Chain A
């Protein structure tokens, strides 16, 4: 199985901050990566796919980059509604695996 490792596991930030979350795959996955946002008690919501393509309706302050084994999710200017847990997911090969999550908290 491909292991997905996110860092940091948790992050404290303030409204207006620029934040970056990293996801590393245990082997190369080309650009077969998606990012999700999950709020407490809610289902995950996809933000980006194929590493850098914004899902329809997602604000442009979210961006993604990377290829191969290293990927980043950047939020350019944090908004109050962005405090949540973020997951990466590889879809290069089965079984399709997720990172352990990064919890973004208000400082």
Chain B
């Protein structure tokens, strides 16, 4: 059974770079037709798609965040990473790693999420 686990610092200072890792078990992140996404949820608010990376390494980002976001994979560790630069308090959120369905662009498996607070 697929399991996704996010990890990373829970506190980031304004203007710095947020870095998170998603470790996938129960499946290979490089298997054909696999896609991996990051989604966030500010406190008490709704969900925002950040971006997706494909099994071949192609990336797709939300235009509202594109200039600050990098998603990458480490196939040797079966991990997906997120970097978000120049963070502000508005980036405070729970960050989720998720698998995009192979046929449709919805998210069929999610990690438990990790809280990131931006504060000095």
Contact = CB atoms under 8 A, between A and B. Distances in A.
A43 B46 contact: no
B47 A43 contact: no
Interface residues on B, range: 20 to 34
A97 B110 CA distance: 17
Contacts of B46: 87, 98-101
Given A43-B112, A45-B110, A87 B104 contact: no
A46 B105 CA distance: 12
> Interface residues of A toward B: which range?
20 to 34
B101 interface: yes
Interface of B: 46-49, 60, 62-64, 96, 98, 101, 104-108, 110-113
Interface of A: 32, 34, 36, 42-46, 49-50, 55, 87, 89, 91, 94-101
